[in-house]
Structure 1
């Protein structure tokens, strides 16, 4: 039997969502193992150096950074040319994964950050989203008429932020950003990567995942 990579994942985690998006685009078949973050199985903890999802288990190594998983998958097969992206796209991902993700967490998990003003943290996140909206005016994707790695890397986090208070989000003056997000939420690939799987158990048959 051919070996297939194993993807340890958690359905709602934005890092895991973007890894699954890239894997779906690449059409690389993986065994998907859905876990609960509050009850991580020992087999996962023995595999992942960081104990975080997503983790991709390969025959010769383990990748436990979502962006690295995305790049690995698309290096195997990239029919949409997602890696064909201007250098500026890497800068967008860096800001998304750094200052924006911090402001998102400070807005969403207020009880964890009692020393911070959640309204100010939301304003910080909004400034970044407004910059994305300006980029998206007149085009469907961040760099034109087709998606790139940056779109797939950012969209799960914008979705997470929007769902903190969707009514507030929809009331903001970022129509292009909202259209970008909604086309993603309505896409077949999003429905595919958000399919529900039972929590992994050693006794269950494998769940095979590909695009």
Structure 2
């Protein structure tokens, strides 16, 4: 096995996007392995106990949660001081990953949840976003004018929600949130982590990412 960490990822997955953003910010070199979630290769399933992306294979352990991968990368190198965030930032990420993500899924994939009203779920998601907008008023990031892990970790999910119905999203009373989202989406960092890579196959030459 390569002595470099191996990152299993899927380009559009918001959890994988935020892990790639952290790795790219840290400048840590990893071997990137792009997979299809509907056709997971055996080598990936042998790595990830949860069978979900992202999964990072290190020499002595596997990190199977995106938050753990973010912290691992930034603890090695954090040139943009993303970890310089108040404790409540982690609580906000938890709210994003819990109630907001649930409401997002119920809105985006309504056909999978026949007993759930997608309009009610969209309202639940909107309540979280209204709070984000209030927090962003008068500043460029969630905690002042310095981007932190909270921005990096929450942005991909807000983007996914906005893409469900961007016309509706842009008509809502959250102007600061829209500016924040669009600034992220137009950034070089986001363009970099959304580069399209060929699907990984056994025996392929390594695809390097990050460093």
TM-score, length basis structure 2: 0.98
Distance 1:53 1:145 in 2: 30
Give runs of aligned pairs for residues 80-95 of structure 1, distance below 5 A: 80-95=80-95
Give runs of aligned pairs for residues 50-129 of structure 1, distance below 5 A: 50-129=50-129
Partner of 1:25: 25
> RMSD over aligned Cα, in angstroms?
1.1
- CA 121–2 in structure 1, closer or farther in 2 if over 3 Å, else same: closer
User: SS where residue 8 of structure 1 aligns?
Assistant: strand
Distance 1:109 1:177 in 2: 23
Distance 1:2 1:161 in 2: 37
Partner of 1:194: 194
Residues 1:147 and 2:147 aligned together: yes
- CA 94–113 in structure 1, closer or farther in 2 if over 3 Å, else same: same
Q: Please report how far the alpha carbon of residue 2 of structure 1 lies from its aligned counterpart in structure 2 after TM superposition.
A: 7.3
Q: Please report how far the alpha carbon of residue 56 of structure 1 lies from its aligned counterpart in structure 2 after TM superposition.
A: 0.2
Partner of 2:38: 38
Q: Please report how far the alpha carbon of residue 203 of structure 1 lies from its aligned counterpart in structure 2 after TM superposition.
A: 2.4
Q: Please report how far the alpha carbon of residue 88 of structure 1 lies from its aligned counterpart in structure 2 after TM superposition.
A: 1.1
Give runs of aligned pairs for residues 131-170 of structure 1, distance below 5 A: 131-170=131-170
Cα shift readout 1:86-136 (whole Å, capped 9, x = no counterpart): 011011001000000000000000111111110000000000000000000
- Structure 2: stretches of 5+ with no match in the other structure: none
| Aligned residues between the structures | 211
User: SS where residue 104 of structure 1 aligns?
Assistant: helix
User: SS where residue 4 of structure 1 aligns?
Assistant: coil
Residues 1:205 and 2:180 aligned together: no
- CA 140–210 in structure 1, closer or farther in 2 if over 3 Å, else same: same
Distance 2:109 2:202 in 1: 33
